[in-house]
Amino acid sequence: MEPVATTESGLPIPPVCDSRTLDGFDAEAKLGAPGRYPFTRGVYPSMYTGRPWTMRQYAGFGTAKESNERYHQLVNAGTGGLSVAFDLPTQMGYDSDDPIAHGEVGKVGVAIDSIDDMRTLFQGLPLDKVSTSMTINAPAAPLLLLYELVAAEQGVPGSRLAGTIQNDILKEYIARGTYIFPPKQSLRLISDIFAYCHRELPRWNTISISGYHMAEAGATPVQEVAFTLANAKEYVRTAIAAGLDVDDFAPRLSFFFVARTTLLEEVAKFRAARRIWARIMRDEFGAKNPKSQMLRFHTQTAGVQLTAQQPEVNLVRVALQGLGAVLGGTQSLHTNSYDEAIALPTQKAARLALRTQQVIAYESDLTGTVDPFAGSYVMESMTDDLEAAAMELIQAVEDRGGAVHAIEQGFQKSEIENSAYRIALQIDSGERTVVGVNRYVLDEEEVYEPLRVDPGIEIDQRERLAALRAERDNGAVERALDALRGAARGTSENVLPPMREALRLRATAGEVSHALRDVWGVHVPHDVF
């Protein structure tokens, strides 16, 4: 029987599979035991039979005070991990009173300008007990150091802090655009973060190498895996070139993927990604520590698949996507709120998103066994096909000189844009069904009242910054920023210790970013972009 359907990546879905489909399949080499190389079946022997994944909810809007209130609500609702969304000026390394920040303060996340804001953001939250993820890239270093400083004020040493900074700048050049510095200097900053955290924050995940944003831009599952792992190889090479031993930093690498509604391919994607990464780390980089070979990842359900039409249907989409992430063996999961295609999530919507995970964890039987799909003819066939296609695309990046050179040539961006265009054509033509958009539509949509951010937040942030600059020792701050510039000009000094001192003296995140701009300049995209 010939295949009649294909995956998102264009690979065949066999309508019937049996052992003949897997001709030459070496189960021992490709599967192994859970928690053992090549980790196809999961990175831990017991997976969710020991405890469920970390239920992490992404939140942050308006002021630090408002976001703090939402975090307390989520912790009280049972979430085990916080995930911070920052506003666009913070993501781009600008303070709220910078002219370029006008109109964007607090809109897509929380505005964090200084240690004062970070202190308010985590007031009353036990930083030695919660795991915190921060979705921040170009200014990842100052935001992480602000978090470390606030934890120290609570009496929590860096050795007890657990969490993740995204810190994945290469995907910003490919798919998202919140970069500041040129690639070479950005990679230097990332290797400095690796070294600093190895000494000072040993439990912290120093990077979350992200395919999620590439998927949101239109990447297929094969492209998501291939380009993410190609970027990861670039980070490993950079750290080794800076003198770090692979087994000193690789155990703290983590990854970030999307979970779409195409459940079977998503499960295959996660299994194939683990297998590819284990082989890369062992065979290409000589990693001997099994933890260096593990692909540990966070998953977020697919925001790009949410619809503003009939938004309640998104509850079903998110449940299906979350199920795929769990069946694929994720270490932590964020489930989107059903109203996110319209505006910032309401409190009720955020709570329902968390309840979705809790139903999967505590009302289903999925936590009773490891890798439920293992040995399925269809799943093993799809995993093999996705692995082969991803490896071919990784090699295409390598043939162009690696991830950075391929980015400079516009390769990844072009491939993703072509995929996004194909998907848009399929939706427009009706070839691809989107319930409520091109099929099963309503004549009249129900009026929905979204959560809105108070525009007065920008004025309040400006006033707080003015007070901060009036109260602090500006001479000491400028001397500390000069020390940071000096470290950035050289090649041997880690920039994080002088950066930490400047932030402790109440330098702002924007001032720190500007000090590095003074030395490193900013990235100007090539015309090919």
Whole-angstrom Cα distance, residue 295 to residue 232?
11
pLDDT tens-place string over residues 90-137: 999 999 999 999 999 998 899 999 999 999 999 999 999 889 989 999
**pTM for this predicted structure:** 0.89
Span 472-479, average pLDDT: 98
Per-residue pLDDT, 1: 45
Per-residue pLDDT, 94: 98
Q: Is the pLDDT of residue 7 over 80?
A: yes
Span 134-149, average pLDDT: 97
- Residues paired with residue 372 on neighbouring β-strands, in sequence order: none
Q: Is the pLDDT of residue 526 over 70?
A: no
Q: Is the pLDDT of residue 302 over 50?
A: yes
Task: Produce one character per residue of 479-506: b if its CB has 16 or more CB atoms within 10 Å, e if not.
Answer: ebbebbbebbeeeeebbbbbbbbbbbbb
Least confident stretch, 54-68, 216-230, 339-353: 54-68
- Rg of the Cα trace of the chain? 23
Per-residue pLDDT, 528: 43
Per-residue pLDDT, 453: 72
DSSP string, 292-330: HH---EEEEE-GGG--SSSGGGHHHHHHHHHHHHHHTT-
Span 269-276, average pLDDT: 98
Q: Is the pLDDT of residue 529 over 70?
A: no
What's the pLDDT band for 185 if we cut at 50, 70, 90? very high
Task: Produce one character per residue of 137-148: b if its CB has 16 or more CB atoms within 10 Å, e if not.
Answer: bbbbbbbbbbbb
- Single-letter code of the amino acid located at 103: G
Residue 63 backbone dihedrals phi, psi, to 5 degrees: -95, 165
Contact in structure between 298 and 57 (CB atoms under 8 Å):
no
> Between residues 401 and 62, which one has the greater pLDDT?
401
Q: Is the dihedral of CA 28, 33, 34, 37 positive or negative?
A: negative
Q: Is the pLDDT of residue 433 over 80?
A: yes
Span 424-431, average pLDDT: 96
Between helix 496-504 and helix 140-153 the angle, nearest 10°, is 60
Span 176-183, average pLDDT: 93
pLDDT tens-place string over residues 194-213: 999 999 999 999 999 999 99
Least confident stretch, 18-32, 178-192, 215-229, 251-265: 18-32
Whole-angstrom Cα distance, residue 317 to residue 107?
25
The domain limits of the chain are 5-429
Whole-angstrom Cα distance, residue 134 to residue 376?
37
Per-residue pLDDT, 76: 87
Span 341-355, average pLDDT: 89
Span 231-238, average pLDDT: 96
Span 293-309, average pLDDT: 96
Q: Is the pLDDT of residue 19 over 60?
A: yes
Nearest alpha-carbon partner for 440 in 286, 312, 331: 312
What's the pLDDT band for 347 if we cut at 50, 70, 90? confident
Q: Is the pLDDT of residue 163 over 50?
A: yes
Q: Which CATH class is domain 5-429?
A: alpha beta
Per-residue pLDDT, 28: 74
